[in-house]
Structure 1
Amino acid sequence: MPESAYTTQPATFAPSRPGQLSTAALPDGARTVVTVCGELDLQAADELRAALRGALESAPEGIDLDLQGVVFCDCSALNVLLALREQALTEGKTVTIQAAGPVAERLLTLTGTWPLFTGAADDEAGGPELGAEVVQLRRAMQTRPTIDLARGVLMATFQLSPQDAWHVLVMVSQNTNTKLHVLAQDLVTAVQGEPLPDATQRQVSAAVSRLSESGGSGAAGDEGT
């Protein structure tokens, strides 16, 4: 993959394949605006982490993210964002989301992490609330292994791709008004012998059927996060 941009000069990298991660960093006074486009998944996590850490290092006050061009985003990318914000807080900087499309916003909303990037808590960075903020970030990051396990359960049970399994998780979470990590824990527990609630079972079956009817990955892009 091409190197990500995080120099002090405006730079962009066009993706060589549809959906590939691309980033652009533009200094704006003491902050840096970083535009991120493409698919933010496990494959892109290392590149995304390097780009954002480089941008944060060169920005005295922090970075503002533009995620309008993100077409897919899962928990591997979320962990990158959460770790970045934790690092920024310990350095007396802030990370905010300046703009976000429905894909990125939906993930952050479902996982309860959207308020961490809206700037509401930025005035407290470095102050007495710093310890509590870092604890909250670490707690959010701890949910990822369970969510990844639940995605694996769906992949094995229904022969789904990683992205399709993610779409099913998101759809069921929305349709049952259940937090993503709670749903994931229920799915993992079900493998160990505890049955899923009937309503959740019906929603999982319906989501898989809907995904199959729409053609799987790509066709379900508007539903995914």
Structure 2
Amino acid sequence: MSEPAHSAQPLTALDARPPCLATIDAVVAGERMLVTCRGEFDMGAEELQPELYAALDRSATGVDLDLGEVRFCDCGGLNVLLGLRREALDQGKTVTVRAYSPTVGRLLDLTGARELFVTERSGGPGGSDTPAVQPVPVPVPVPVAEERPEPMDVDQELRREVDQLRRAMRTRPAIDVARGIVMASFGLSAEDAWTVLVTASQNTNTKMHNLAQDLMGAIHGDPVPEQVQQQMAAAVAKVRETAQTSSGDAA
């Protein structure tokens, strides 16, 4: 008898790395490299690391990322970008995001990684090189002749960025495990499991890493908040309904 389409898969099945469904184009932009990313950034995007690191090496000051055409991105893809940023810090360079799609924007918000990449001139969804938030004009006091601007503490700034990077990296494994739990429990694909987590996180106003901790605690018998259970169940039903509708249309 054939196996049901939504049968649960053991967690060991997650060890197989998916194919790379993303591409990048790198062009020189003065002292920096402009890297345009397209497609799906998940664990398979690790295959692009050599190209990303090569673009970083070719730059004098760092890499600007255009993520406006990334239609799917999960923690595996974010890990690739975080690794690039960490390498840039080691070389005394920077990695910024010039534009991002709504999918990438949600991921940056949920993981708290937005401030690591997005600069004041980063574009929002759809890709724009204008400031994402227009500053409100305020009166500028005339400085006294003796006053001198305080020099920037570069070491302190770098330490702050490294601490932020480490916090984002610590949340990634828990979120990946949580996605694996959802995949194994409900027999969902990696993309559908990610959709379930994002939906439940948004509808319960719970940070993604906190939601992941709740799901991991359930393995050891800790109760999952009732609101989270309800939203998870509703999200699972929704993705299955969407999959059935798509299958019916294809037939």
SS of alignment partner, residue 21 of structure 2: coil
1:92 aligns with 2:92: yes
| Structure 2 partner of 1:54 | 54
Q: 1:1-225 residue pairs with structure 2 within 5 A?
A: 20-45=21-46, 47-119=47-119, 126-215=154-243
How many Å apart are 1:128 and its aligned residue? 2.3
Instruction: Please list every run of at least 4 consecutive aligned residues from structure 1 whose deviation after the TM superposition is greater than 3 angstroms.
Output: 124-127
SS of alignment partner, residue 128 of structure 1: helix
Matched to 2:59, the amino acid is A
Question: Any gaps of 5 or more consecutive residues in structure 1?
Answer: 1-18, 220-225
How many Å apart are 1:149 and its aligned residue? 1.1
- TM-score w.r.t. length of structure 1: 0.82
C-alpha distance after superposition, 1:15-47 (max 9, x if no partner): xxxx821110010100110000001111222x2
C-alpha distance after superposition, 1:30-83 (max 9, x if no partner): 0110000001111222x2222211111100011100001111111111111112
The answer as to whether partners of 1:37 and 1:71 remain within 8 angstroms in 2 is yes
Q: Distance in 1 between matches of 2:153 and 2:48?
A: 23
The answer as to whether partners of 2:116 and 2:164 remain within 8 angstroms in 1 is no
Q: Distance in 2 between matches of 1:190 and 1:125?
A: 44
CA RMSD of superposed structures (Å): 2.0
SS of alignment partner, residue 38 of structure 1: strand
Matched to 2:27, the amino acid is L
C-alpha distance after superposition, 1:134-163 (max 9, x if no partner): 122012111111111111111111111111
The answer as to whether partners of 2:67 and 2:97 remain within 8 angstroms in 1 is yes
SS of alignment partner, residue 161 of structure 2: helix
- TM-score w.r.t. length of structure 2: 0.74
| Structure 1 partner of 2:7 | none
Q: Percent identity?
A: 51
Question: Any gaps of 5 or more consecutive residues in structure 2?
Answer: 1-19, 121-151
Matched to 1:91, the amino acid is Q
The answer as to whether partners of 1:61 and 1:93 remain within 8 angstroms in 2 is yes
How many Å apart are 1:92 and its aligned residue? 1.9
Q: Distance in 1 between matches of 2:155 and 2:163?
A: 14
Matched to 2:38, the amino acid is C
How many Å apart are 1:100 and its aligned residue? 0.5
Q: Distance in 2 between matches of 1:36 and 1:49?
A: 12
Q: Distance in 2 between matches of 1:141 and 1:51?
A: 21
| Structure 1 partner of 2:134 | none
Matched to 1:137, the amino acid is L
| Structure 2 partner of 1:13 | none
Q: How many residues align?
A: 197
Larger radius of gyration: 2
